[in-house]
A and B are shown apart, each in its own frame.
Chain A
Amino acid sequence: MIAPAALLVLAIILPAAGVVLALAAGGRGAERVAMAVIAGGAAIALAIAGTLWSTGAPLSYIIGGWAPPLGIALRADGLSAFMLLTSALVIGAIGLFARATYVQPAGTPERRAPLVFWIMLMGVWTGLNAVWLAGDLFSLYVALELLTFSAVPLVSLEGKPETLAAALRYMLFALIGSILYLLGCALLYGGYGTLDIVLLSRLARPEPVVFVALALMTAGLAAKTALFPLHLWLPPAHAGAPAAASALLSALVVKGSFILMVRLWFDSLPGIAGDGAAQFMAALGSAAIIVGSVLALRQERLKLMIAYSTVAQIGYLFFLFPLAGAAGDWERLAWTGGIMQLVAHAVAKAAMFMAAGLIGEALGHDRIAGFAGLGRALPVVMFAFGLAGMSLMGLPPSGGFVAKAMLLTASIGEGQWWWAVVIMIGGLLAAGYMFRVLTPALAGGAAPVILAARISRPRQAIVLGLAICALLLGLMPLRPSALLEVGRTTQAAEVR
């Protein structure tokens, strides 16, 4: 029997070990290693969430027995549990989906792409789990870099010149973001002599050095999250990558840096930023929603449309800062709503990118104008696409609806009605770009659609299954989630 706290280490070690093993095993073995890691990782995520659920208390593990500020601590609170579960679900689906693409059939020469894909998939997972669990700002930085450097090769997996350019663009901009973050870390360390989240939250005072540090770190992380207007790298990277990689990047990778921002604002330096900065963040989020959605409406290619939809959907996350930061009755609801938006978008967007991948494979192109009659040719895929779209539009029952309803309620409750207006407009625009795809696919085209390739049933089933998960998230009660708040109230109480 493993001690529950040791599970935290295992959650990071397992995919990391997978990376090493896959390197050793080579192309044909990599896939098998990845499958084993997926099964094990899911079990670990469930075990951690189950422990938190049953005990109602956060877990922590001091590595090597060296307590912070000397050593490093891993911590799992409700937010970590949510994120562990989400990444296990989404990565599991992506892994199963990608098996058909990244096989190394026996007797054929080994290709580069499959090995890179499976290794980087596990690399991303290591980075993500480390972001969810790390207890100090420097470990978080390391985790984030691991995440970025595993994600970049996924963009250029196909090795085409334009995807290479997109990958470089992504890496360069992410590096600029990293520099800003690191600069902020240095300032904080210089000021307080620790980067441990809990210790920092007790020590930090509202003073200029903290402000500068927080501003730099936030901007750097926003660049990695592709918050408007720092999204230059996202559309080409997410639209150019192969479907499974796009799903991973859009669903999870951009959320890593966002969660780091949350850790920074709510856990390390609670109440430091003040309302002005929080409103500014949400204003950028609003601009992301409006501009991203309008741009999504105008794209001619499906994958670019989905990528711009990611720009827009990320915007909603930033409502968390003014809504969950304000003291009041509604902040608990905003907290659950904001994180639900993250989870719902992760699940729905992964399903949507995979559906788009299947459509592209079947048709040989992904031009929206050529989708007439697709609903008849690929009913299951289009159905899954539609379900994922429901969640993005925020229609009930879906995770997106629950998230948006909670954010709306909180914004009205806190008297910040202007964010509610943006949420509504965003929903309308999302309906616009979804139905622009769905209408020709469902109706038009009496002529039979000629498919360039057949799509196997299991792959369709995986996409549909994930889309149904996005729908099932809509059964979440519209109230603050108990699991998500594990560790949150006690921490807040400690600070106050």
Chain B
Amino acid sequence: MIWLAATLLLPLAMLFACLSQTLRYRMSNWLSVAAVPGLGAALFAPEASLDLPPFLLRLRLSLDLPSAILLGVAALLWIAAGVYAAAWLRDDPRRGRIAEWWLLTLTGSLGVFMAADLVSFYLLFSMVSLAAYGLIIEGRAADAQKVGLIYVALAVFGEALLLMAFVMLAQSGSASGPGDGLLIRDAVAALAVSPWRNAILALIIGGFGVKLGMVPFHVWMPITYRTAPIPAAAALSGAAVKAGAIGLLRFLPLGLALPDWGNVLTTLGFISAFYAVLIGVTQTNPRMVLAFSSISQMGVIAAVFGMGLGAPNADLALIVAFYAAHHTLVKGGLFLGVGLAPLSGPRRTWLVLVPAAIMGLGLAGLPLTGGALAKLAIKPVLGDGWAGTLGILSSLATALLMTHFLFRLAALPEAVAPNALHGRLRWSWLMIAAASVVVPWALYLMVMSGSVAYALSPASLWASLWPVVVGATLAAGLRPWGSRLPRVPDGDIVMLVAARVARVAGRTAAALEWLDGALRQWPVAVLSLLAISAILAALMLVRV
């Protein structure tokens, strides 16, 4: 109980302390502390529940096993990224502001795993989505502001879809009116009989799809991860994005068999999974490659959810949480590696590239890594049919993309003035690299009750090894042609479409501006006044 409260209250208290200018500039040294209660909650209170004093809003926080896993690894990543940030931001004049946005994002990111009622979920979800905006615009890239606007436009759009979905859910969930304090569990249970089930599901998939970077709502992801300061990009790509995963986990009616919706979600997921790899291999900036890999991995998660939606599976939530947990550690960790590589001097190969290879290829299921276990976990859900085949192909595609990433990471130019930073960055990087293997194994054995014999059986090893080998070979083969691959403009093809949409929107807005000017002429305004009274009278008369 106390852990749950502290998970939210400690970062908020630290944020409050930032009101003092002196403390604000020192806060970047203490960011890692803010996430410690979250880790404690996952370890010591994985089944706890806490009702906030019901004097105004009735909010409830609670954890179950899947959400505790997600919370725990997210907190771990926030801690590591916090240690990293302390060194990274040491003399940065932006550190005060970054610390504030960091704490706000962190509160939302960890809180969203614990929210059990609709209102607090929406509140915390908005917090993690919108506060991230502050971290993005603090980037040094020249176009950081534009990127921030694109991000916020999509985030707010996703939230609008979700708000609509929640409002409709609330109505299905309580006959007496929406009220507050409606638990997500009860609202989703009522989905079985809701007349708006299809609309709600579409809104939920759309809304969380934006957060998960599902194609075509993924455009925000590559550009933001390219722009945000490295430690922030790590936390966002690993932990914050999982707000979408917990969203699907909480709000999809996984107990109902809805094969049509399951197929839709699985298809959408695999489209993301492969599309992102196609675009990703044309990218040269390792951060962009990682972002596309995130889109691809979130696609796999969506596909797994889709399969679970089609055929109820009691363990689905746990399996997805396990898969997502591995991604949290790896993706966040790799971003830390990208920051470290140019600073690591001659030791880059051993210090950065080898751990990065283990983590990156782990995403594709490299044997003995946490990723192999994650792939093992989702295998029965995807089954042996088309989804299973696509699942294997996506491992192969991931191996291809991550090998490409390693080449790009190795090719990063050395920093002009390698400073003394890397000594302190190194520990958080190595810690998260180790955690990406140790934590999944621990979870596999203790929580998933998996068997070592099965995981290490030759069949399992072979099944996870060959896609990695083939994918890596393909990437190596592709490398000489790297410069001849079509260059996809920054971000993505979708950006071109977006530019066209923006032009049309601009013309519409200009037309509305003209209309406004015309309506604000005296004769027109007086005529409209008379017309309005006539229309009102006519409407009242007609009714009788």
Q: Which A residues are within 8 Å of any B CB, using their own CB?
A: 173, 176-177, 180, 206, 208, 211-212, 214-216, 218-220, 222-223, 228-232, 235, 272-277, 280-281, 284, 290-291, 294-295, 297-298, 329-330, 332-333, 375, 393, 395-397, 405, 408-409, 412-413, 420, 424, 427-428, 431-432, 435-436, 439-440, 442-444, 475-480
Q: With a CB–CB cut-off of 8 A, which chain A residues contact B156?
A: 393, 427-428, 431
Q: Digit string of B263-293 for contact with A (CB within 8 Å is 1, else 0)?
A: 0000000000000000000000000000000
CB B131 to nearest CB in A, in angstroms, measures 11
Q: Give the segment of B75-83, B163-171, B454-462 that binds chain A.
A: B163-171
Q: How far is the CA of A478 from the CA of B533 in the complex (A)?
A: 35
Q: With a CB–CB cut-off of 8 A, which chain B residues contact A431?
A: 152-153, 156
Interface residue count on the B side (C-beta < 8 Å): 62
Do the beta carbons of B168 and A173 come within 8 Å of each other? Answer: no
Do the beta carbons of B144 and A232 come within 8 Å of each other? Answer: no
Q: Which residue from chain A places its CB closest to the CB of B159 in the assembled complex?
A: A395
Q: Known contacts A230-B529, A408-B164, A479-B180; is A291 also within 8 Å of B512 by CB?
A: yes
CB B19 to nearest CB in A, in angstroms, measures 10
Do the beta carbons of A214 and B536 come within 8 Å of each other? Answer: yes
Q: Is B407 an interface residue (CB 8 A)?
A: no
Do the beta carbons of A276 and B540 come within 8 Å of each other? Answer: yes
Do the beta carbons of B56 and A277 come within 8 Å of each other? Answer: no
Q: Is B179 an interface residue (CB 8 A)?
A: yes
Q: With a CB–CB cut-off of 8 A, which chain A residues contact B544?
A: 206
Do the beta carbons of A277 and B540 come within 8 Å of each other? Answer: yes
What are 29 A-B pairs with beta-carbon distances under 8 A? Answer: A180-B529, A211-B537, A212-B537, A215-B533, A219-B529, A220-B533, A229-B528, A230-B529, A232-B521, A273-B536, A275-B543, A277-B539, A280-B535, A294-B508, A295-B516, A298-B513, A333-B177, A395-B130, A396-B122, A396-B123, A412-B168, A427-B160, A428-B156, A432-B153, A435-B153, A475-B57, A476-B56, A477-B58, A478-B178
Q: How far is the CA of A350 from the CA of B534 in the complex (A)?
A: 35
Which of B144, B164, B533 is the most central at the interface, judged by chain A CB atoms within 10 Å of its CB? B533
Q: Which residue from chain A places its CB closest to the CB of B54 in the assembled complex?
A: A477
Q: Digit string of B142-160 for contact with A (CB within 8 Å is 1, else 0)?
A: 0011001100110011011
Q: With a CB–CB cut-off of 8 A, which chain B residues contact A173?
A: 525
CB A185 to nearest CB in B, in angstroms, measures 14
Do the beta carbons of B534 and A477 come within 8 Å of each other? Answer: no
Q: Is B522 an interface residue (CB 8 A)?
A: yes
Do the beta carbons of B537 and A215 come within 8 Å of each other? Answer: yes
Q: With a CB–CB cut-off of 8 A, which chain A residues contact B57?
A: 475, 477
CB B199 to nearest CB in A, in angstroms, measures 9
Q: How far is the CA of A214 from the CA of B529 in the complex (A)?
A: 14
Q: Choose among B152, B519, B533, B541 the residue that contacts A232 (Cβ–Cβ < 8 A).
A: B519
Do the beta carbons of A424 and B537 come within 8 Å of each other? Answer: no
Q: How far is the CA of A174 from the CA of B167 in the complex (A)?
A: 39
Q: With a CB–CB cut-off of 8 A, which chain B residues contact A333?
A: 177-178
Q: How far is the CA of A413 from the CA of B160 in the complex (A)?
A: 18
Q: How far is the CA of A136 from the CA of B478 in the complex (A)?
A: 83
Chain B contacts with A in 36-78, Cβ cutoff 8 A: 56-58
Q: Choose among B170, B516, B524, B540 the residue that contacts A272 (Cβ–Cβ < 8 A).
A: B540
Q: With a CB–CB cut-off of 8 A, which chain A residues contact B149?
A: 435-436, 439
Do the beta carbons of B533 and A219 come within 8 Å of each other? Answer: yes
Q: How far is the CA of A273 from the CA of B171 in the complex (A)?
A: 28
